[in-house]
Amino acid sequence: MQEPTQPQMQTAPKAHPKRRALKTWAGRIAGVLFGLLLAWLLAEAGLRLLFFSLPPRVQLVLDEVYVTPWSDRRLMPDPIWQPDIDYLTITRPVQNLEQFGSAEVRFTVSTESLWGMRGAFRTRQDMVDRYVDAVAIGDSFTFCFTDEADCWVQQLARLTGRNIINFGVTSTGSVSHQRVLESHGLPLQPPLVLWQWYGNDANEDYGLALLRGETEVQSPNPAPPPPELNWWDEHSAVYVLLKLYLGSEDTFEGSLQFLDREYATQGNVELAFGRDYLWGAFDIQQPHNEVGWKLSTIAFLESRDMVEDYGGSLVIILMPTKEQVYRDMAEPLIGADKMALLDQNYDLMLDFCEQESLTCLDMLPVLQAHAAQGEQLFYTTDIHLNPLGNTVLAKAVANWLAGHLEVFDLASEN
């Protein structure tokens, strides 16, 4: 009987050491790449989720990034105002839309177009269809970067019991305000026209003239052109931040000109000051702003005549900057020279009011008095009045009107 045959053992050939090493390193590299990709995706998601909590500098450079690759919404929603050849800026009609002055400043807006005309305002057709006591005309300080109930125009209407129409339009100057008065205000023949002025109005008036080809004067420091955005600029928040921190801020000059870089805290008041935009827009000695100032003065005088022709009254409300209101906090940070630049602009308007016998309400002492009591009247990282600041303004105007009730009566009839 034969012995059973033992199965023979075969030994698999050993892998080549170099191949083993390549596989090991390939696995490691793949793991690293996967980790980097995962980290990138997590960072992209995190920056989007935390966008409204990020520092203002980061928010400003990321506001053009889309929420998702397949979305048409950006991290900072598009504003409801848009360029216009006649008014410089007009507002789109919307209903209960959340709007942003900055990531810190958000408010709900409803606007309506009146009589089917271009542009919209924070008012309603039914309000202008009845007797109008007054209209308020101005820029974003009249449009108000607050909910409607907190806006000084609406507060003033409640305080006085008058029907006051808000014709404020963001990013406009005095020439635009005159055109709004002509197109929308004069048909109502309001006894009182409240006209709010801010120190960049001459700059806005120059901008409108340049847009319309009505001046050949060029700004020595023109606004930086909009950057040419590639796919990564619009879809990757991480990519944009790498450009910011590894490259140069000059790439984001257009956005960062609106960044208040200097912070100060005094008691419960925290404010940031000194955005670069101010120095070019408020320097009334620059040739382009001189052009705008001349246009502004013509708009004021022509508007006064138009209002007085039907027996109405024009009252101009002067709005100072937060640097002027909180001078003791701002001047050590931005310097005496820049404070003087803001003051020169404001004083020029005060002198013009006196020379032309215009009725002008100087809000600087009023706001300074409340600031001295430790009240914060402006947003921390935005130039606009917060709800409390709007309340102070409304009460100040209401107090003045209480002593001048005659402005609500037409002096003559057409």
- pLDDT tens digits along 96-155: 999 988 778 999 999 999 998 989 999 999 999 999 999 999 999 999 999 999 999 999
Q: Assess if residue 17 is contained within a domain.
A: no
Q: List, as own/partner pairs, every contact residues 255-259 make where C-beta atoms lie below 8 angstroms and the sequence separation is at least 24, other chains included.
A: 255/60, 255/61, 255/63, 256/57, 256/60, 256/61, 257/223, 257/224, 258/60, 258/102, 259/56, 259/57, 259/60
| Neighbouring residues of 53: CB distance < 8 A, sequence distance ≥ 6 | none
Q: Assess if residue 319 is contained within a domain.
A: yes
Report pLDDT for 13: 56
Integer Cα distance of 378 and 29 in angstroms: 53
Report pLDDT for 269: 97
Cβ distance 213 to 196 under 8 Å? no
Report pLDDT for 364: 98
Quick one: tokens of 101?
């002055």
Cβ distance 261 to 139 under 8 Å? no
Domain count, the chain: 1
Report pLDDT for 31: 77
Q: What is the mean pLDDT of residues 209-227?
A: 87
Q: Assess if residue 389 is contained within a domain.
A: yes
Bigger pLDDT: 100 vs 188: 188
Q: Give percent of the chain above pLDDT 90.
A: 68
Q: What is the mean pLDDT of residues 240-268?
A: 88
Integer Cα distance of 225 and 100 in angstroms: 22
Report pLDDT for 3: 55
Q: How far is CA 39 from CA 35, 116, 140, 240, in A?
A: 6, 52, 41, 16
Q: Assess if residue 183 is contained within a domain.
A: yes
Report pLDDT for 51: 86
Beta bridge partners, 264, equal 271
Integer Cα distance of 298 and 369 in angstroms: 33
Average pLDDT, the chain: 91
CA nearest neighbour of 284 among 295, 299, 273: 295
Q: Give percent of the chain above pLDDT 70.
A: 95
- What CATH number does residue 172 fall under? 3.40.50.1110
Range of the domain at 168: 81-406
Q: Assess if residue 51 is contained within a domain.
A: no
Report pLDDT for 414: 43
What digits encode the pLDDT tens for the residues 25-68?
A: 777 787 777 788 888 888 888 888 888 888 888 888 888 899 88
Q: Assess if residue 91 is contained within a domain.
A: yes
Query: Is residue 10 pLDDT above 60, yes or no?
Result: no
Q: Assess if residue 43 is contained within a domain.
A: no
Quick one: tokens of 339?
């404070």
What digits encode the pLDDT tens for the residues 323-339?
A: 999 999 999 999 999 99
Query: Is residue 385 pLDDT above 60, yes or no?
Result: yes
What digits encode the pLDDT tens for the residues 262-305?
A: 999 999 999 999 999 999 999 999 999 999 999 999 999 999 99
Task: Give the chain as a 3 state SS string.
Answer: CCCCCCCCCCCCCCCCHHHHHHHHHHHHHHHHHHHHHHHHHHHHHHHHHCHHHCCHHHHHHHCCCECCCCCCCECCCCCCEEEECCCEEEECCCCCEEEECCCCCEEEECCECCCCCCCCECCCHHHHCCCCCEEEECCHHHHCCCCHHHCHHHHHHHHHCCCEEECCCCCCCHHHHHHHHHHHHHHHCCCEEEEEEECCHHHHHHHHHHHCCCCCCCCCCCCCCCCCCCHHHHHCHHHHHHHHHHCCHHHHHHHHCCCCCEEEEECCEEEEECCCHHHHHHCCCCHHHHHHHHHHHHHHHHHHHHHHHCCCEEEEEEECCHHHHCHHHHHHHHCHHHHHHHHHHHHHHHHHHHHCCCEEEECHHHHHHHHHCCCCCECCCCCCECHHHHHHHHHHHHHHHHCCHHHHCCCCCC
Q: Assess if residue 151 is contained within a domain.
A: yes
